[in-house]
Amino acid sequence: MQALTFGQSKARMIDPNDQSQRVTFKDVAGAKEAKEELSEIVDFLRNPKKFLDIGARIPKGILLMGAPGTGKTLLARAVAGEAGVAFFSISGSEFVEMFVGVGASRVRDLFLMAKKNSPAIIFVDEIDAVGRIRGVGAGGGNDEREQTLNQILVEMDGFEPNEKVIVMAATNRPDVLDPALLRPGRFDRRVTLDLPDRQDREEILKVHSTKKPFAEDVNLKVIAERTPGFSGADLYSLMNEGAILAARENRTTVAQYDLIRSIEKVMLGPERKSHVLSKKEKEITAYHEAGHALLASLLPYADPVHKISIISRGRAAGYVLHLPIEDRKLQSKKEFLDDIAVSLGGYVTEKMMFGDLTTGPSNDLQVSTALARDMVTKYGMSDMLGPVALEGQEGKALFGRGVEEKSFSEKVSADIDAEVSRIMKEAHDKAERTITENKKLLDAIAVLLMEKETIERADFENILVAHGVVPKKKLDIEHQV
Q: Check: CB of residue 205 under 8 Å from CB of residue 220.
A: yes
Residues in Cβ contact with 343 at an 8 Å cutoff, skipping those fewer than 6 apart: 292, 364, 365, 367, 368, 371, 427
Q: Check: CB of residue 434 under 8 Å from CB of residue 459.
A: no
- Amino acid present at 34: A
Q: How far apart are CA 188 and CA 291, in angstroms?
A: 51
Count of residues making up the chain: 481
The SS3 call for residue 61 is strand
Q: What is the DSSP letter of 400?
A: T
β-pairing, 305-309 with 454-456?
Answer: antiparallel
Radius of gyration of the chain (CA): 27
Cα angle value 85/91/94 (rounded, 5°): 120
Cα–Cα distances in Å, from 33 out to 39, 44, 46, 241, 268? 10, 18, 20, 30, 31
Q: How far apart are CA 152 and CA 203, in angstroms?
A: 37
Q: Check: CB of residue 25 under 8 Å from CB of residue 39.
A: yes
Q: How far apart are CA 160 and CA 19, in angstroms?
A: 34
Q: How far apart are CA 93 and CA 472, in angstroms?
A: 49
Check the CA dihedral 323-326-332-335 and report its sign: negative
Residues in Cβ contact with 169 at an 8 Å cutoff, skipping those fewer than 6 apart: 61, 62, 63, 64, 92, 123, 124, 125, 127, 131, 187
- List, in sequence order, every residue forming a beta bridge with 89; answer none if it has no partner: 12, 123
Q: How far apart are CA 259 and CA 255, in angstroms?
A: 7
Q: Check: CB of residue 79 under 8 Å from CB of residue 42.
A: yes
Q: Which of 289, 391, 432, 461 is catalytic?
A: 289
Active site residue 289: yes
Active-site positions read 289
